[in-house]
Amino acid sequence: MRTKNIITILSLLVVAGVLFIVFAYNNMHPKAYETILINNAGEEIGTAIFVEMNDGVQITVQAQGLAQGAGTHAIHIHEKADCTPLESFKNTGGHFNPAGKDHGLHSANGQHAGDMPNIITDANGDTTSVMVNHHITLQKKDIGQERFSVFDADGSALIIHAGEDDYKSQPSGAAGPRIACGKIKSP
């Protein structure tokens, strides 16, 4: 009887240990992240939801009033989670590019980790866009030399530009002014 109780107690301890490890892993490696998007007036205009997948991060952007009328807009991950000054969001730095690649989805030298396909807005300047970025991760550390954490020391930012990315001009695709920003900071 005593041996059976010891085995039961040991089994419960093992189960508790496994649950603790799973809980700790999930807290250290977020599977989803949401940021609020603001415009150049500092008004909240939408959200971006990041979901970790096996081969990248799915990003769903919902935003209203991005532009006057329908259009095509560049969207990138930038280097820093600093959406100031409001009129330009210049403190976000350049495109997120830890591997030192050239700009552009069709670049012969790879692409910036922050480069993504353009998004389309409707006649009201609204968009719901979904894309997968295969070069970033929501984990705290990079995954080899292929996927880079957006949660580095100074965070990152999601930027939407007034114009479209031509996917080739250096260093940023001739995308024009930055019209929306969302901070990506470690939870």
Give the model's pLDDT for residue 6. 59
% of the chain residues with pLDDT over 90: 56
Structure confidence by residue, pLDDT tens digits, 46-103: 999 999 999 999 999 999 998 777 899 999 999 999 999 999 999 999 999 998 887 7
Whether residue 110 is predicted with pLDDT greater than 70 in this model: the reply is: yes
Report which of residues 3 and 8 the model is more confident about.
3
Q: How far apart are CA 37 and CA 125, in angstroms?
A: 14
Whether residue 14 is predicted with pLDDT greater than 60 in this model: the reply is: no
List CB contacts of 158: < 8 A, sequence separation 6 or more. 35, 37, 48, 59, 61, 75, 76, 77, 78, 181, 182, 184
Structure confidence by residue, pLDDT tens digits, 143-170: 877 898 999 899 999 999 999 988 887 7
Q: How confident is the prediction for the chain on average, in pLDDT?
A: 83
Whether residue 24 is predicted with pLDDT greater than 60 in this model: the reply is: no
The H or E element that residue 109 is part of is: none
Report which of residues 71 and 29 the model is more confident about.
71
Give the model's pLDDT for residue 23. 44
Distance of CA 162 to the CA centre of its chain: 19
Q: How far apart are CA 93 and CA 63, in angstroms?
A: 22
What's the pTM? Answer: 0.81
Query: Which backbone phi and psi does 26 adopt, to 5 degrees?
Result: -65, -35
Instruction: Identify the sign of the CA torsion 173, 175, 177, 178.
Output: negative
Q: How far apart are CA 127 and CA 66, in angstroms?
A: 8
Report which of residues 10 and 48 the model is more confident about.
48
The total number of residues written for the chain in this structure: 187
